[in-house]
Structure 1
Amino acid sequence: MRLKTRIAIAFLAIIFIPVILTGVAFYCLMHYKVQAIGKEYGIENPTYENIYNNSLMISKMMDSEFQSLKQEAEEHPERLEDNSYLNQLNEDLDEDNAYLAVRKGDSIYYNGSTTISDSKLLDSLPKYGDSYASSDSGMYIRTEEQSLVKQVDFVFQDGAEGSIFLITRMNQVFPGMRNWMFDMVVIVILILVTTSLAMSLWIYRGVVTPLNQLKKATQNIRDGNLDFTVEGNGVKEVNDLCEDFEDMRKRLKESAEEKVDFDKDNKELISNISHDLKTPITAVKGYVEGIMDGVADTPEKMDRYIRTIYNKANEMDRLINELTFYSKIDTNRIPYTFTKIHVSDYFEDCVEELSLELESRHIELTYFNYLEEDEVVIADAEQLKRVINNIVSNSIKYMDKARGVINIRLRDVGDFIQVEIEDNGKGIAQKDLSRIFDRFYRTDASRNSTRGGSGIGLSIVRKILEDHGGKVWATSKEGVGTVMHFVLRKYQEVPVDEQDTDHRR
């Protein structure tokens, strides 16, 4: 989810969730209050309208005080003449925004209000014996403010007619409603605070949690630790950043591993080249010392010593060339000069050159050309010769038979020319066949380093053939021998009429 979307959702949630929860809370609290107030004030089957009817609820609220006054007037009317008693009652009523007034004859005997004068009060109060004011519902009067009056008539001890009035100001909200409003305000505040905190935490966790992962990841990279993972679980923008960071970490790890492998390969290459150069150098030094000491005292010995020195020098030159070519492989700067090569003529020349070297090593070389036509390929003659020489050299290196045999065969396989170079050497284990073209790969069974060689010959073969658009593979059987197969695509000329058609298009 995008950060923009998450913020929009949080904004809408902060608006609508409190509205919905407030509505639910309002309904539940109102239902509870209606039942509680109905029970408190004795309203049968209370409804929401009862709650909203302020006059009715104030009237019901003062019912108990009104009934007490009626009972007092009937049983102890003399108390209604006692000012101290009336003051005590008036103080209790003040909490309910009400007060008492007592009229004796045509004058005010007691006025519990501190804001309305006796004269104004006298003008507003109902007459003695007023049925409306004497009812439980009372009647409304207006002095300085609208009030609900409930009247109880009685007779003073001296025989004068009197009335005590329970006057309730109507500019108030009855206590039950005030409590309900206070509870609603508290609930709304709690809903707003809780919703805001929840949405803020949701956005915070969506952004800060993956950022903390990235911070920890950068610390790991700083400390050289690349074995960890970064997983985004927040907003899309931060997730994308985490994914890019994870890709970077993987590439850094791959680069670090490649560097370790590269350093290891370089050390192995240096070790192999040093070992392989030391052997012919030692031989050259020995034969030169023999010449200097006069050991080669016959023309035949001198010729043999010089020829051996020449062969060892060629061997060193070959090793140095491999090292140079190896550096060009790593930088993809192999020099190619592609030309048309007639396959049959080219391989006849190669076989002729190889025959001289193999004859001196007592290895029989046979050549089979199964091509029916004089096929042509596009290739670099020098690099293709390197391929053949490297394969043949590898066969010679691991030849373990007293009578060595190497067969070279050419076959036509459709759009390709397939070359097979077979030997009767010690063979290669099946588990190693898929890896013999890897750089520096060696096995005790097939490519033991004690036999010499830089360990990159077959990897050079694969690289050159891939650059020619071909491929190489091997089949082998231990104790019997190995066959190296590689293919080159045939050169096919486009007919003149097709060329003209292409030009017109």
Structure 2
Amino acid sequence: MKLKTRIIISFFIIVLEPLLFTGLAFWAFSEYQFGVIEEQYGIEDPTYKSLSNTAEIVNHLSNEQAEMMQKVAEEEPYKFEDIVYLDEMNKELQEMHSYLLVKEGDRVTYYGCENYPAEVVKRLERYENFNSGSSDSVYMGGRVQALVKQISFQTDTVKDGSAFIISNIFETLPQLKELFKNMLVTVIVILSATALGLTWWIYRGVIAPLDRLRTATRRIKEGDLNFSVSTEGVSEIADLCQDFEDMRRRLKENAEEKVVFDRESKELISNISHDLKTPITAVKGYVEGIMDGVANTPEKMERYIKTIYNKANEMDRLINELTFYSKMDTNKIPYTFNKIYVTEFFDDCAEDLNVELSAKNVEFSYSNYVEPEVMVIADAEQIKRVVNNIVSNSLKYTGDGKQKRINLRVKDVGDFIQVEIEDNGKGIAAKDLPNIFDRFYRTDASRNSSKGGSGIGLSIVKKIMEDHGGKVWATSKENIGTVMYFVLRKYQEVPVNE
């Protein structure tokens, strides 16, 4: 759910939910209190309108006592001179928020309130003898604000007696007080529950994911990338969490790649340093021999100079590999693609290899099964680098004391030219075969120092072939030999529609 949608829903919940539940609570409480009022006060079918009219309710509450007193006035008027009777009636009226006041002429003989109601007595003069009946009241305005019912009586000694039921119209029914109290508590509970619910909802959808993002940011700041950020919360926050998780994974991959790169660079420098040290030591020794006059014959001098030349070529090859390696990582290999006749190109390669391998006492054979007119689009220099790297790697791991042999075959396989370079070395174990084109991977770590090499020869081969749109792979049998394969797509003229 989007944050905008959640905010809109929250707004309507804040407005509507309290109203709805408050209305339901008011209806439930009022129905209950209506029943209590009807049972306790005898008000039939009370309504919200009647309850809102306090004067009507108060007037109705004292009707029964007024009727009883009217009957007493007619049948036993002398009771209005009986203080015990008057106290009993006053006690009943007090429960109805009223009190009793009795006058005999102008003299007040009984009043049922705590303090003498002088203001009421003074204002009663205008209401006396209104003869309104037992069930009706007269409103007394001014500062008194009361309802008055008058019951007239006469005795042998009292010719002009009146009993007044005075009701305070500002008194609220206990049931209404209870209703208001319950509604107040209910409203507070509803608002609190709504606020807590919405706070939890917003917290779960927004604040909690942001807290996790802040924690994740702090961990990244401290260099810890070994965790994950779950995608949750509102839509916008979930998208942010997903982007953050993608960023964390990328940072972790970059950090791991940097560790690998640093390790490979150190290994490359170590390998190159080791391999350069050997020919440099040899060159230094032979130069010192020449300087010291050890090469005192033309034959020795020629052999010394030839050895120095070969060692210099070896160092040049290592430096070229290092240069190529740096360009390979930045994808800045300077390719020069041209049309190349396959037969002519590999005939030249075979001739150069034959001279080089013969000098190393290595048997070499060459077979070409491709028609002279077949061409490929390739960089001749880099393809020659591929062949030389494979051959160099093959010679490096040919068993000691065994006549070394290299076979070069070039075949036409449909739309591709397939080149095969076979040796009779120790072979490669099946578990190592898938990894031989990885950088710095060696099948036997124990032979690293003795065999030397930068460890990137075959990875360079793989890179060059991928950039040519071809591929390279190998098959091998231990103690028998290895065959390296690489393929190049043939160049085909596209016919022009006439």
TM bucket normalised to smaller? 0.7 to 0.9
Matching of residue 233 in structure 1 with residue 232 in structure 2: yes
- Give the corresponding residue for 2:114: none
Q: How does 1:80-159 map to 2 (within 5 A)?
A: 80-81=80-81, 93=93, 96-102=96-102, 104=104, 114-115=119-120, 117-126=123-132, 133=134, 138-144=135-141, 156=155, 158=157
Q: How does 1:407-418 map to 2 (within 5 A)?
A: 407-418=407-418
Partners in 1 of 2:383 and 2:61 — Cα distance? 113
Q: Aligned-residue CA RMSD in angstroms?
A: 3.5
How far apart are residue 32 of structure 1 and its match? 2.4
Matching of residue 218 in structure 1 with residue 217 in structure 2: yes
- Give the corresponding residue for 2:485: 485
Secondary structure in structure 1 of the residue aligned to 2:441: coil
Query: AA paired with 2:473?
Result: W
How far apart are residue 279 of structure 1 and its match? 1.1
| Residues 112-162 of structure 1: per-residue CA shift (max 9 Å, x gap) | 683462322214343xxxxx51xxxx2243453997666666654636474
Partners in 1 of 2:303 and 2:369 — Cα distance? 40
Moved more, 85-94 or 324-333: 85-94
Q: How does 1:61-80 map to 2 (within 5 A)?
A: 61-62=61-62, 80=80
Query: AA paired with 1:438?
Result: D
**Residues 235, 157 of structure 1: alpha-carbon distance in 2 compared, 3 angstrom cutoff:** farther
Partners in 1 of 2:438 and 2:429 — Cα distance? 15
TM-score relative to the length of structure 2: 0.86
Residues 335 and 379 in structure 2, CA contact (< 8 A), matched pair in contact too: yes
Partners in 2 of 1:45 and 1:496 — Cα distance? 103
How far apart are residue 51 of structure 1 and its match? 5.7
Q: How does 1:48-447 map to 2 (within 5 A)?
A: 57-58=57-58, 61-62=61-62, 80-81=80-81, 93=93, 96-102=96-102, 104=104, 114-115=119-120, 117-126=123-132, 133=134, 138-144=135-141, 156=155, 158=157, 160=159, 162-168=161-167, 173-372=172-371, 374-400=373-399, 402-444=402-444
**Residues 348, 93 of structure 1: alpha-carbon distance in 2 compared, 3 angstrom cutoff:** same
TM-score relative to the length of structure 1: 0.85
Gaps of 5+ in 1: 127-131, 501-505
**Residues 82, 359 of structure 1: alpha-carbon distance in 2 compared, 3 angstrom cutoff:** same
Secondary structure in structure 1 of the residue aligned to 2:428: coil
Gaps of 5+ in 2: 112-116
Moved more, 171-180 or 429-438: 171-180
Moved more, 223-232 or 85-94: 85-94
How far apart are residue 105 of structure 1 and its match? 7.1
Identical residues among aligned pairs (%):
57
- Give the corresponding residue for 2:12: 12
**Residues 163, 122 of structure 1: alpha-carbon distance in 2 compared, 3 angstrom cutoff:** closer
**Residues 68, 300 of structure 1: alpha-carbon distance in 2 compared, 3 angstrom cutoff:** farther
Partners in 2 of 1:155 and 1:413 — Cα distance? 141
Query: AA paired with 1:139?
Result: D
Moved more, 368-377 or 71-80: 71-80
Moved more, 269-278 or 232-241: 232-241
Residues 2 and 235 in structure 1, CA contact (< 8 A), matched pair in contact too: yes
How far apart are residue 392 of structure 1 and its match? 0.6
| Residues 415-440 of structure 1: per-residue CA shift (max 9 Å, x gap) | 22121111111111122222111111
Partners in 1 of 2:178 and 2:118 — Cα distance? 26
Query: AA paired with 2:141?
Result: E
How far apart are residue 251 of structure 1 and its match? 1.9
Secondary structure in structure 2 of the residue aligned to 1:443: coil
Secondary structure in structure 2 of the residue aligned to 1:431: coil
Query: AA paired with 2:443?
Result: T
Partners in 2 of 1:76 and 1:222 — Cα distance? 100
**Residues 307, 359 of structure 1: alpha-carbon distance in 2 compared, 3 angstrom cutoff:** same
Residues 140 and 148 in structure 2, CA contact (< 8 A), matched pair in contact too: no
How far apart are residue 244 of structure 1 and its match? 2.2
Secondary structure in structure 1 of the residue aligned to 2:389: helix
**Residues 495, 71 of structure 1: alpha-carbon distance in 2 compared, 3 angstrom cutoff:** same
Residues 58 and 96 in structure 2, CA contact (< 8 A), matched pair in contact too: no
**Residues 197, 356 of structure 1: alpha-carbon distance in 2 compared, 3 angstrom cutoff:** same
Secondary structure in structure 2 of the residue aligned to 1:114: helix
Query: AA paired with 2:489?
Result: R
**Residues 124, 73 of structure 1: alpha-carbon distance in 2 compared, 3 angstrom cutoff:** closer
How far apart are residue 170 of structure 1 and its match? 5.2
Moved more, 8-17 or 24-33: 24-33
Residues 420 and 484 in structure 2, CA contact (< 8 A), matched pair in contact too: yes
Moved more, 387-396 or 371-380: 371-380
Partners in 2 of 1:216 and 1:360 — Cα distance? 67
**Residues 449, 9 of structure 1: alpha-carbon distance in 2 compared, 3 angstrom cutoff:** farther
